[in-house]
Amino acid sequence: MTKQYESDVLIIGAGAAGLSLALRLAPTHRIAILAKATLLESNTRYAQGGVSVVMDENDSIASHVADTLEAGAGLCDTEIVHFVVSNGPECIRDLIQQGVDFTRDKDTNGYHLTREGGHSHRRVIHAADATGLEIQTSLLTQVKAHPNITLYESHLMLDLVRDKQLGCVGAYVFERNKKEVMSFRARMTVLATGGAGKVYLYTSNPDVATGDGIAMAWRAGCRVANMEFVQFHPTCLYHPEAGSFLITEAVRGEGGKLLLPNGERFMPRFDPRGELAPRDIVARAMDHEMKRLGAECVYLDISHKPAEFIRSHFPTVYARCQELGIDMCAGPIPVVPAAHYTCGGVMTDRNGCTDLAGLYAIGEAAFTGLHGANRMASNSLLECLVFARSAATHISQHIADRAMPPALPEWDESRVTDSDEEVVVSHNWDELRRFMWDYVGIVRTTKRLQRAKRRVDLLLMEIREYYGNFRVSDDLIELRNLAVVADLIICSALRRQESRGLHYTLDYPESDDNRSPITTILKP
C-alpha cells in the first residue's frame, strides 16, 4: 500500500524560492517541503554573485528596468520587469531581517554593491562570493525551527496528480533511500524545482538540476515558453578535477579581463562593453575564439588587483583555485562556457499560477516574462524572492476555497519488474547530454537541431517502453524528465527562425526586426 502524507501546501524544491515561500505561509498553514537530495543541494547554494537590487542613491528602478529589458533582447514583459525590480528592495530588507549577512562596505558602512554584466550601475548585493549559500543557510535555519513546516530529504518527485474537478491535488514521490513510492496530497502544490542544466554535457549546475518540475508540469497539461533560451555562463573553471565550479561574474565586474592563450584581450573586438557585455555575447565570443584557435579554454585574469582585494572579495573562488594549484593572485584562471540557466519554463502569471488549478511554479522552473531572450546577471535570485512573496499572498487569499483532496489513487507496480538492463539508462543519459551539447549549444544550425530532434524522439520512445516495464529508479526518473526538457528545447529552437539573445543560429544570424518579437509557447 502506498504511504500517503498530507499538508495544506506542498512545496517541491528547497532553494531560495521554496524556502522563502514556506516561511511566508507557515504562520497560518501546514507546509511540506520536498528536497530531492540534501536540504542544501540546490542551484541557490551555488549562486556566487548576488542579488541585483536598487539600493544606491545614484541608481534607480528605471535604470534597472532598462538594463533588464536591453539584456532580454526585446522579449521581456515590461510590466513584469517593473513589478520584479520595484519589489526587490523590500524583499532584500526581509532577508536582512531574517539574518542574511550581506557584505558591508568598509568605507561607507553600508552594503557593498558590485557590478556585473549588463548592469549600468553597481547594484548587486552579495555575501562575499557565496551569496546563495548564505541565503539558503539562513532560510533553512528558520525553516527547521518552524513547527508548521516538515522537511523531507531525498524525495524525488515522480509525477503530479490531477483531478478533473480540482486540478492538481498533489504528487507521487520516490523516496530515494528506501526505494519506494509514496504520495503527498495538498490543497496547493508549488513547483520550486529549479532549472535543467544537466541536460547538457558541461554545466555549472549541480546534479539535481534535471528539469523535473518543467517536465512534470508539461505532462500534467501546462504550457511552457521560451525553452530555446538556455544561458551559458561564460566562466566555468576549466580543470579536470573542477567538476562544475563557477567563477562568479563579479570577478569581471571588479576588473577581470578575458584573455586568449597568448595573453591577448579579445572582448573589445566583440562589444564596446568588453567583459561586462551580457552573458550571451561573452559566451559566443569565447566559443568563437576557442573554435577559431582550436583552444580548449580561454583565461580570466584579475591578478593586476592587490592580492588582499582578491582574497577578501572572492574567498570561495580563491580557495578552490588554490586547491587545484591555481593562484589567481599571480596569474589567469582557465575558463570555458557551460550551461547555466534555463530562461524558459512553466508559464505563470505574476502570482505564480500555472494553467492547472492548484498548481504554482516559482523560481527557475517558471517562465514569468522577466528574462526574455537572455537573463541579466543576478536577476535570478531576485525573481525567486519576489515571486515567492506574490505566490504566498495569492495562496493565502485562495486556499480556503479549496478543500483537502481525498486520498490519492494507489501507485500501481503490479505489472512491472526489477530491471536487469540498467546499462540502457546510463547509455541513454550520456547520449542525451552529448548530442544536446553538440547540436543544441551556444551556436546552432537547423541541420544540427533536426539531428537532435531525431535522436530525442528515439530516446523518448525507448524511455517510455522502459518506464512501462520496470520499477522506477533515481536515474530513470531523471532521464525521463531530462528527455522531455531536451525535446522542449529542441522544438522551441526549431520554431525560432532568427537569432535573438541566447538563441543563435548560423542559418538565421540576424534578428527578425520586421515583426514584433514573439515568445515561443508550446502546448501539450
pLDDT digit string (tens) for 340-355?
999 999 999 999 999 9
Residue 464 falls in the annotated catalytic set: no
CATH class of 3-228+343-401: alpha beta
Looking at residue 109, its pLDDT comes to 78
The domain defined by 422-522 folds into: Methane Monooxygenase Hydroxylase; Chain G, domain 1 (1.20.58)
Q: Do 139 and 19 touch, CB atoms closer than 8 A? A: yes
Q: Pick the catalytic residue from 24, 279, 284, 496.
A: 279
Looking at residue 71, its pLDDT comes to 92
Q: Name the stretches of the chain with pLDDT < 50.
A: none
Provide the residue ranges of all domains of the chain, joining segments of one domain with +: 3-228+343-401, 234-338, 422-522
φ and ψ at residue 482, rounded to 5 degrees? -60, -40
252: nearest Cα among 285, 300, 290: 300
Residues 486-520 have pLDDT tens digits of 999 999 999 999 999 999 999 999 998 877 789 99
Domain 234-338 falls under CATH 3.30.360.10: no
Assign 110 to helix, strand or coil: coil
Looking at residue 420, its pLDDT comes to 61
The two beta strands, 345-347 and 224-225, are antiparallel
Distances, alpha carbon 241 to alpha carbons 197, 321, 475, 488, in Å: 19, 11, 23, 32
Distances, alpha carbon 229 to alpha carbons 63, 353, 442, in Å: 24, 22, 10
Q: Residue 173 is which amino acid?
A: V
Looking at residue 43, its pLDDT comes to 81
Looking at residue 415, its pLDDT comes to 65
Secondary structure of 50-70 in HEC code, one letter for each residue: CEECCCCCCCCHHHHHHHHHH
What DSSP line would sit under 77-99, residue for residue? Answer: -HHHHHHHHHHHHHHHHHHHHTT
CA separation for the pair 346, 355 (Å, rounded) = 9
